[in-house]
Structure 1
Amino acid sequence: MSTLPRVSRSLLRDAAYERIRHAIIDGSLAPGAPLRDADLAEELGLSRAPVRQALLRLAEDGLVVSKPQSYTRVAEFDADDVRDAVRLVRALHELAVREALPRLGPAQIAAMRAANERFAAAVGSGDVGAAIEADDELHDVPVRACGNRAVAATLGRYTPLLRRLEYARFSSLPAQRSVKRHNELVAALEAGDGATAARVTSTIWTDLEALLEDS
């Protein structure tokens, strides 16, 4: 008899959550699209229970709206919510780079440079998903290094709202400028210049807020 452990319900719920969330962020599930647990369960090859749990969690994240016995659908884009999220995310990333600075070594600096190279290549080829993934990887380095779990958890909660904006308006993003900003950030961290690293970090996210103001 096989001794393989059974897949837990929590893993199924998490898998459903991650896949539905990504489809909302990248626009595969458009704003206002109805979300029927039976249809999603069939598409994902899961039972309805983990899908329902995932939808409840996505509602808490602000990506899904639901009215009992009436509807469940993808949340419409709300500029005020995104603006609030940008400002919170900016402040937390500034905190992360300051707290991470004493803990960053050559390996982390190299990882950030490599992520920015992937980001630049993805921008050049117009690969939105790869660009956003590389951008996440770059900024995750100081977040992980700072060791502040509250920062990491809060960023995990609110960053998807910003990534949704970036997917929808990638052609308007100052992406080439972001490549330069990333290089400035890495250089400041390598030099141990926390003040400059925090300033550049603030500018990176302020550029995104400016895009929102112009929309």
Structure 2
Amino acid sequence: MNTDLMHDVTFYVMYGALAIAVFITIERSLYFAYVRKQAARLLAQLTPAVQNERGLSEEVTARKSLPMDMVREVLKQKHAGGSRKDLDDVVETQYLASRAPLARSLWIVETIVTAAPLLGLLGTILGIIDTFKALASAGVSDPGQISAGIGTALYATGLGIAIALFCVVFHNLFQDRLERINDQLKMLLIRASMGARVTAPAELTPVQAPHYRTA
């Protein structure tokens, strides 16, 4: 088994994981900021008098965004009429559907939090094995060689822990922002459903008693 090659591969995997984590961090930060900005604009314009999409400005309807997609479906149901239950079902459906786009790629960051220290430990073990193999074949002529080899091996553990710390900080930050955005979207959906002209359920006609003719 080529432990030297595996040691290098471990480092490449950790550097790749760090690059992926940085990319997701930047992408999610920009996406969350855009969603919050669009939701705030919609909240400022949605009133009970808005019955359809035409009641909103082109500034919010022209751009594709998660808040506008959610509100658009609610306004369609609101304009079409129907029972209050139908409108509530649309609101609940849109709220549940918003979770997947918001939480996209966060599981990768969570996975890196767990995997990075383990990869670092693996790299350290492989590095120590490779160091002792080299010393066994060449002999111990300088004790400093052992210290340098072990120090290089321990660098893998330090790198893995550093990557995990970076990811756990931003993962917790994203979870907090996710809760805030979910609350904002819930308020948005409730505001969009206000003022609906719902159709009352039809009253049931009582069954008339049979009429018998008498002689």
Category of TM-score, reference length = shorter chain: under 0.3
Give the TM-score taking structure 1 as reference length: 0.28
Larger radius of gyration: 2
**Structure with larger RCO (C-alpha < 8 A, sep 6+):** 2
Give the TM-score taking structure 2 as reference length: 0.28
